[in-house]
Amino acid sequence: MKALNRIRSLPQGVKSSTALFIARVVSMGISYITVPLFTRLLTSDEYGQVNVFLSWASLLGIIAMFGFAGAVFNNGMVDYPDKRDEFSLSILALSNIITVSSFAVLFALYPFVKDWIGLDWRFLLLMGIVFLLEPAYSFWAARQRYELKYKALFATSVLSTVLQPVVSLICVISTTGNRANARIYGMECTFIVIYIFFYLLLIIKGKRKVKTKYWKETFLFNLPLLPHFFSYYILGSSDRLMISRMVSDSATAYYSIANSVSSVASIVWSAVQASMIPFTYEHCKKKDYKPIAKVTHPMLAVVAAFCIVVIMLAPEVVAILATAEYKEAIYAIPPIVAGVFFQTQRSAYVNFVFYYKKPKYTTIASMTAAVVNLILNFIFIPIFGFIAAGYTTLFSYFLQSIIDYFAMRKVMNGETVYNMKYIGALSLGVVIVALCSNLIYGYAMVRYAIIAVTVVIAFLFRNKIIKTVKQMKNR
C-alpha cells in the first residue's frame, strides 16, 4: 500500500511519461518477438515487399492526411481549450475531404503510374480506407498525451500492439499464396477495426458539429509544412525504396531489420516527449525557459546512453530477430542509431519553432536535409550498397539538427536556451561510438565492457535523472 500511495502521489506528467514509456517498451518487445517469426515465414523478397508497401503508405499519407495530428493539433489544444471536441471533429472532416480528393486524383492517374508505384490498386484502396479513419485515432491519442491522460491511451496502445501482429501471423500462416499480401491485409485490417471505434467516438463527442471556421487557420499552418513532411519521409523511408530499386528487395529487407533494431533507441524520448510538448508550451507562455533546459539536458544524456547500448548489442539483437541471412544488417545499425540521437535532439529545438508558429523554418531544415540525403544516396548506394544509406542518413539528420537549432534561435530572438557545449559533447560521443563500433563487433568482451561502463554512469546519476523527470509535473 505504501508503494501504491507513492505512485499515486507522483505528478501527472511523471505518471503519463512512465505509462507511455512502458507502452512503448511493450510495443517494442512484441515487435521483437514477432519479427523473427515474420523473417522466417516470409522470404527476404516478400519481407522487402511489405516494407515497400509501408514506405508508400508513409508517402501517400502525407498528402492524404495532411499531418493534422502534429504540431497544429497541439496548437489547437492551446488556442481552443473549451472547444477541443468541436475542433477535433472539424479538423477530421477537413482531413477526410483532402483524403477523398487525393485518392480520386490517384485512381484517375493509376493506369499511367501503376508500374512505377508497383502496388496493386486493391492495396491503394486499403490505404485510402485507413487514411480516412486513422486521423480520428491520432487526434484522440494526441489529445490524451497533451492532457496527460495516460490510462486509456496506455490500454489502447498495448491492445493494438498485441492484436496487429497476432492477426497478421494468423493470416500469414493460413495463406497458401503470397504471404506478403497476407501480412499487409492482416496488419491494415486490424487498424481499420480499431480506428472505426475512435471515428465514431469523435463524432459523438463532437456532437456532429463541424465548424469550418477552424479550417483556414489549420490548413494554412500545415500547407508550408508539406515539404517538411515529404522531407521527413525522404529521410526516414526513401532509403528503402531507393535500395529496392538500386540494389534488391532482399537488401531492403536487411536495411529494414537494421531500422527495426535502431528504433528501440527512440523509446525513451518518445515517452518523455509526450510530456515535454505541453511542458515546453506552458513555460513558453511564461517566457520562463530555464526549466525546459534543466529537463532536456539529462533526458538527452539518457537517450545518448541508450543509443550506445543499442549499438553495442547490435550483433546479438540481429541474431535474435532474424536468420543468418540478415547478418549484414548489423553494420547499418550504428549510423542509423546515431541518426536517432540527432532526431531526438532536433525535436527539442522544433518544439519552440512550432509554439511560435513559424513552421517555415522547420520546412527549410527538412528540405535541405532531404535533398542532401537523396544526392548522397544516389552517389554512394550503388558503390557501397545498402549500408551506405545508414551513413548518408546520419549526416542528413546531423545537418537538419544544426539548421533547426538556428531556427530556434531565430524565433527566440537569439536566445540559445540550451547548453550547446554539453549537447555537442553528447553528440560527439554517440558519433564516435557509431563510427568505431564496426571495428569491435568481433570482440564481445570489449562491447560488454562499454555497456557496463555506460550503465554504471547512468546508475551514478540516477537521482538527477529521477529529479529531472519529476520536474515535468502536472500543470
CA distance 179 to 221: 41
* pLDDT on residue 430: 93
What's phi and psi for 67, nearest 5 deg? 65, 30
Residue 473 has pLDDT above 60, yes or no: no
Residue 475 has pLDDT above 50, yes or no: no
> Average pLDDT, stretch 306-311?
90
Give the alpha-carbon dihedral of 39, 42, 43, 45, to 10 degrees.
-100
Residue 474 has pLDDT above 50, yes or no: no
CA distance 37 to 152: 29
Binning pLDDT at 50, 70 and 90, where does residue 24 land?
low
- The single-letter code of the amino acid at 279 is F
CA distance 38 to 46: 10
Surface-to-core class of residue 219, CB atoms within 10 Å of its CB (0-12 exposed, 13-18 middle, 19+ buried): middle
* 344: Cβ contacts below 8 Å, ≥ 6 apart: 266, 269, 300, 303
* pLDDT on residue 14: 55
Average pLDDT score, the chain: 83
Radius of gyration of the chain (CA): 22
Query: Each residue of 438-455: b (16+ CB within 10 Å) or e?
Result: beebeeeeebeebbeebe
* pLDDT on residue 31: 67
pTM attached to this predicted model:
0.72
Which three cell numbers, joined as nine digits, stand for 66? 495532411
Which three cell numbers, joined as nine digits, stand for 434? 557509431
Residue 384 has pLDDT above 80, yes or no: yes
Which three cell numbers, joined as nine digits, stand for 279? 511542458
> Average pLDDT, stretch 412-438?
90
Residue 467 has pLDDT above 80, yes or no: no
Residue 393 has pLDDT above 80, yes or no: yes
> Which is more confident, 97 or 271?
97
User: Domains of the chain: which residue ranges?
Assistant: 10-471
The neighbour count for residue 4, using CB atoms within 10 Å, is 8
Among 57-66, 248-257, 259-268, 313-322, the range with the most confident prediction by mean pLDDT is 57-66
> Which is more confident, 140 or 274?
140
pLDDT digits (tens, 9 = 90+) for 233-277: 777 677 777 887 787 777 777 787 787 777 777 777 776 776 677
The residue written with cell numbers 475531404 in the block is: 97
Which three cell numbers, joined as nine digits, stand for 63? 498528402
Which three cell numbers, joined as nine digits, stand for 240? 528503402
pLDDT digits (tens, 9 = 90+) for 45-54: 787 778 778 8
Give the alpha-carbon dihedral of 7, 9, 12, 15, to 10 degrees.
-10
pLDDT digits (tens, 9 = 90+) for 164-188: 888 988 988 888 777 888 999 999 9
Which residue from 32, 18, 70, 56 is spatially nearest to 161, judged by alpha carbons?
32
* pLDDT on residue 104: 94
Surface-to-core class of residue 356, CB atoms within 10 Å of its CB (0-12 exposed, 13-18 middle, 19+ buried): middle
Give the alpha-carbon dihedral of 59, 61, 62, 66, to 10 degrees.
170
The neighbour count for residue 91, using CB atoms within 10 Å, is 27
Which three cell numbers, joined as nine digits, stand for 104? 480520386
* pLDDT on residue 403: 94
> HSE on the CB side for 161, CA within 13 Å?
19
Residue 360 has pLDDT above 50, yes or no: yes
* pLDDT on residue 274: 67
CA quadruple 7, 11, 14, 16: dihedral sign:
positive
Which residue from 31, 21, 19, 59 is spatially nearest to 187, judged by alpha carbons?
31
Three-state DSSP class for residue 358: coil
Quote the distance between the C-alpha of residue 451 and its chain's center. Answer: 25
> Which is more confident, 465 or 374?
374
CA distance 332 to 343: 17
Percent of the chain at pLDDT > 70 equals: 89
* pLDDT on residue 23: 65
The least confident of 240-244, 367-371, 405-409, 464-468 is 464-468
Which three cell numbers, joined as nine digits, stand for 292? 525546459
Residue 323 has pLDDT above 60, yes or no: yes
CA distance 8 to 465: 20
Q: 100-109 long-range contacts, Cβ below 8 Å, gap at least 24? A: 100/132, 102/60, 102/63, 102/64, 103/64, 103/128, 103/131, 106/60
Which three cell numbers, joined as nine digits, stand for 404? 533547426
Task: Give kind and range of the element (H or E) at residue 106.
Answer: helix 84-117
Percent of the chain at pLDDT > 90 equals: 25
Q: What does each C-alpha distance from 67 to 79, 98, 300, 458, 472 come to in angstroms?
A: 18, 11, 26, 36, 27
